Amino acid sequence: MSIGNRFRALSSNGELRTILWVAAAAVGVIAYVYVVGWIVDLVRLSAARLPASAAVGALSGEQLLGDGLRSTLLMAAVFVVACVIAYFSSRRRWDVQGQDWHHIVLKHGVSNAAADEHAEDQRQRREGRRARDKAARAGAVARRAEQLPLGIVHGVAERARSRNEDRARQLPIEDPKPLETAPLGDFAVRIVAGFNIMVLAALIALVVARAVAGAVPIAGWGGAVIGVVVFFLIRWVLTRVSPLVFDARIHGIVWGVVAVAAVFASAPIGVIVLTAVGVATLGRSLARIKQPQSAAQFVRSPLPWILLTICLLLGLAYSATPPVAFPRVVVTAAGASRVGGYLSRTSAGVYIVGCTALADATSTDEQLEFVPVRNVENVRVGGGTAYFDSGRRPSIATLALHALGVGGSTPTLVSAPLRAAQPTCAGGGPPFLSNGYEDPTLGTGVIAGPPPPGGRANNGEAPVQDTAPPAVATLARRYQPTLLVTVADQNWPVSVNAILAERGSANQPVCLVQQRAPQKVCPATASSLGGVGAGSSDYLQLPVRLAHNRSPGGQFQAFLRGQYIASGSLHHWLANPGVLDPWRSAQIYFYYRGPVSVTAFPAKARDPNVPSGLIALEYWFYYPYNYFPLLTNAGLMNGAPIAGDDENNDLHQGDWEHADVLLDPHTHAPLWLYLARHSFEDQFIPWNSPQIQFDQGHLLLQAAFGGHPTYLAGCGARPRPVTYDLTSDWLSCGSGRFAFRAAATPLVDMARTPWACWPGYFGEASTSLEVQAAGQPENVLDSAKHFVFVAGPRAPLRQAENGGVCSGDPAAFERAAGAGGRSGR
């Protein structure tokens, strides 16, 4: 048969038309997928705050087609799962409520279906049938239980049978007329009904959870639990009542409120909500379409194109949801390496995207960079992911205003994290530093700075070389450690005077609260802490009250105001940590303990190899605020600890931490390092341990995030043995670290300060709970009690291995300190 005859044969039976329809549909789908890829990539790059048009122009046709295909297939799978969930969401009592949903579809709306004079009678007949079926099942259970020693089961089943039979007698007998179904079938109507139920239940649950979280201070997971409970409660209600119970106007008002709420939701959430609303409402019209009986009918119907449009909308919402991910790439060009996200590579060069990572899992300074092929020495793709997230969640209304050229923004009333937060920028891009400089010899991302003017910290005391005996001062400076503190901590070691200089938002000073008159001294001074008659219940009242200071931000800003530092917003100083200039106020305290008995240290920390009689050089670090990260996201704590810190306890103002260098009493050679950490987690480390790192001959130590226990410098989690490794201290490195080098950080002899033996609390201690909690040993039970607010610490010479140092009169203490200094020569 000739080709012409074959076409004529096909045409006579319609096969040719079918082939042409399918071919045209295939071409249309390919073009659609390409356009989807272009749109999705444009939205994705815009969400990353990159120059979207230029970046999309750098992508090849294959990349666009592949991205479109992946988005379409992924969102198709998501939509299928959503349809399955919707199908089962409407399953409960479908034998009673199902015909009402079919009526809504067949009668073109709620009002027409409710006006059907037979609708209520039919619903009562279905309810009667359901009651009779339940009575029959209960009777069967009762008969089986009657033959067994299950009296309770038999009684419950009999009561259920009797109750349902009584209800069935009150309802009309079942109508033999079969159910009237919509053209697209019962399956489609159940999906539409399920979407109605899910959307309403989810939105009501979200609103209630946010309202409760705003009114009651609960953890983030607490709000999520409330939302889940409310969702299932609303879903239960919506499956028990007929959709025709409510007037059509109420339906319209409800969906109008939902649509308005979606407009003021964060853009991805709003798109998803509007898509779900479209499926729930416009799906009723779609269900009136007759089921296609062939491939040609399916292609010619609006079904595939509506489904593809839904997939496109879901793909746009997913692509616009931060954080936006790119494969990590390291490009070596002209001897330097650039770390960022891989976009594309052409014969002309490599396109990479970069940003500056911030410690709250957001990014800034996003940029697109082209590296010409002539400069490219090596390209390594992989080894991680570069995430971009500006932290902004604008509403659909805000985006619409910006598209129209109107400035300003509307509030984002509804937002939800559709993607988990991630450390951003793949570690690429050093921060801008208005003060200080990067010092890679101390580790990645370590920022060092100059000594303060005159060698004395702002608000600090005179340095040890000006006050202590020369021999003591020489030893103290020789073994003074270099301390690393993560930038995101919002704490660094400072002087007591710097804390006393704090100011509140209304210029409130630090006050000394004491039992004797005057009961409150404002502002408190260092000399007022050393006065005669001080009591053990006296405490410092900082400008930001402890109950209003669950995160370090309030305390941090009060400290900065006292130092006259304008840090700007959180994102501003995280991107430029040098603006804090911590080296200007940083200070470390020192105390010459002299020969110390090993029994002065906690029993659990003692090492049988450490003898008594070693000379202890104590180095004390005073941090403004303490917060222990109790619940954390381990994936964020190194690179973005502010975002990874989910819940804190052990909150108190003032935090004294220390480390000891133990010397041979005859040669003054260092033998041991003692690190005091929390309660009973202290550690002795031999001086010749390979774990110890040095900075130009000085110990390199690091404070853990939030609680500031002192460790050898490093990165990552440090599980706490006292809690059986259920909690950890975190040495966070990826967000940058401040280095307080021994050569540049003032060292002050604590024995020469007026508050060295002050018996009060270096922070708020206004309630008995706080004071009691401060004396509790830390263990799993302590974490279960969840002590949140704790009294401030005592003076260093009244705690740890310094027990008894402050006993007796101040003059005796001063003479002992002087003698200790001379004995150390």
For 3-46, what is the HEC assignment? Answer: HHHHHHHHHHHCHHHHHHHHHHHHHHHHHHHHHHHHHHHHHHHH
pTM of the entire predicted model: 0.79
Whether 44 has a pLDDT exceeding 70, the answer reads yes
- Per-residue pLDDT, 589: 97
For the chain, give the mean pLDDT: 82
| From 217-226, 570-579, 770-779, the region with the lowest mean pLDDT | 770-779
Q: For residue 781, what is the enclosing H or E element?
A: helix 780-785
What is the average pLDDT across 134-161?
A: 61
pLDDT number for residue 240: 77
For residue 185, report the phi and psi dihedrals to the nearest 5 degrees. 105, 165
Of the listed ranges 191-200, 317-326, 591-600, 640-649, the one predicted with least confidence: 191-200
Average pLDDT of 348-358? 91
Confidence of residue 663 (pLDDT cuts 50, 70, 90): very high
Inform me whether the pLDDT recorded for 8 exceeds 70: no
Cα separation, 443 vs 448, whole angstroms:
11
DSSP string, 611-670: -TTEEEEEEEEEEEEEEEEEEE-TTTTTT-HHHHEEEEEEEEEEEEEEEEEEE-TTT--E
Sign of torsion, CA 440 443 446 450? negative
What are the tens digits of pLDDT across the range 295-307? 667 767 778 778 8
pLDDT of 619 above 90: yes
Per DSSP, 533 falls in state T
Predicted pLDDT at 53 = 87
Average confidence (pLDDT) over 364-386: 90
Band of the pLDDT at 90, cuts 50, 70, 90?
Answer: confident
* Domain parsing of the chain, residue ranges: 3-68, 94-290, 324-427, 437-823
pLDDT at residue 160, rounded to an integer: 62
| Length of the chain in terms of residues written | 825
**CB distance 471 to 825 below 8 Å:** yes
% of the chain at pLDDT higher than 90: 37
How do residues 154-198 score in pLDDT, each as one tens digit? 566 566 657 655 665 655 565 555 566 778 788 888 888 888 888
- Whether residue 110 has pLDDT greater than 80: no
Share of the chain above pLDDT 70, in %: 81
Q: Between 243 and 127, where is the model more confident?
A: 243
3-class DSSP assignment, residue 97: helix
Reported as a single tens digit per residue, the pLDDT across 436-450 is 999 989 988 899 999
Per-residue pLDDT at 813 exceeds 70: no
Which residues are CB-contacts of 694 (< 8 A; sequence separation ≥ 6)?
Answer: 700
> Can you give the pLDDT at residue 7?
46
What are the tokens at 279?
Answer: 């499926």
pLDDT tier for residue 825 given thresholds of 50, 70 and 90: very low
Classified by CATH at the fold level, domain 324-427 comes out as: SH3 type barrels. (2.30.30)
State pLDDT tens for residues 571-589.
Answer: 999 999 999 999 999 999 9
Mean pLDDT over 273-290 rounds to 78
Among 324, 437, 339, CA closest to 379: 339
- Which pLDDT value is given to residue 479? 97
**In the structure, what pLDDT confidence band is assigned to residue 147 with cuts at 50, 70 and 90?**
low
